Amino acid sequence: MTDYVSWFRYQLKASADGFEWAFSQIPPAFLDQLPPDPGYLGTWSPARHVWHVTEYERCMSIPAMYGWLPDLTIDDPDWPDDDDAWAKVQERGLEALLSKFRSIRQQQIDLLDQLATTDWNEPRESPWGLKPLSMVVTKTFQHTYEHGDTLLRMGLWWEEILKEEAEKSAKAGD
């Protein structure tokens, strides 16, 4: 494969679409709630997954991609990926979180054109060590799929798990 820009444009777009689809499959009342069965559905609200993926890309992916542009450096933004940082932003609203995700993802897609003549297999220093640009961009859509998988499980099974828990509780009360 030699057309990395087309390949990664497709992957970044498709994984973003899938991620948003997964988020949209979760009932709105649950989007800022902690899920039941944390062993299966995780310990974060759906909204926090959107925030986390967005901030990962803003603070790690984009600065890493800039490392392949000649004579251009960008400071790595601070990424406090913790409960305190989440508490400060969770009041932004769901549409604002999704809008920020879309904007950050589009920045990466747009950046691909500037990287068209880059050696995508040349290792350079990155947040993950000495890696090629192909790995850096692959990591972005892998991370999106990872969190998208959790969101899909939430959309598919959250209500079922609640029903099962209610049935168990009712039987225990008999």
Q: Are 31 and 45 in contact (CB under 8 A)?
A: yes
What's the pLDDT at 80?
Answer: 83
Question: Tell me, what amino acid is at 66?
Answer: Y
Mean pLDDT, the chain, integer: 93
Q: Which tens digit of pLDDT belongs to each residue from 18-68?
A: 999 999 999 999 999 999 999 999 999 999 999 999 999 999 999 999 999
User: Is residue 71 pLDDT above 90, yes or no?
Assistant: no
Which CATH fold topology does 4-173 show? Four Helix Bundle (Hemerythrin (Met), subunit A) (1.20.120)
Mean pLDDT over residues 99-105, rounded? Answer: 97
Per-residue pLDDT for 174 more than 80? Answer: no
pLDDT of residue 74: 67
Both tokens of residue 148? 């998208």
C-alpha to C-alpha distance for 124 and 21, rounded to whole angstroms: 34
Question: CB-based contacts of 132: which residues, under 8 Å, 6+ apart?
Answer: 120, 121, 122, 123, 124
What pLDDT digit, counting tens, does each position of 148-165 carry? Answer: 999 999 999 999 999 999
What are the residue ranges of helices labelled H in the chain? 4-24, 38-41, 46-56, 62-66, 83-89, 94-114, 133-173
Give the pTM: 0.93
In the chain, what are the domain boundaries? 4-173
What is the Cα Rg of the chain in Å? Answer: 19
Question: Nearest 5°: phi and psi at 43?
Answer: -115, 10
Cβ neighbours of residue 122 closer than 8 Å, sequence gap 6 or more:
132, 133
Note the pLDDT of residue 72: 65
Q: Name residues whose C-beta falls within 8 Å of residue 20's C-beta, 6 or more positions apart in sequence.
A: 98, 101, 102
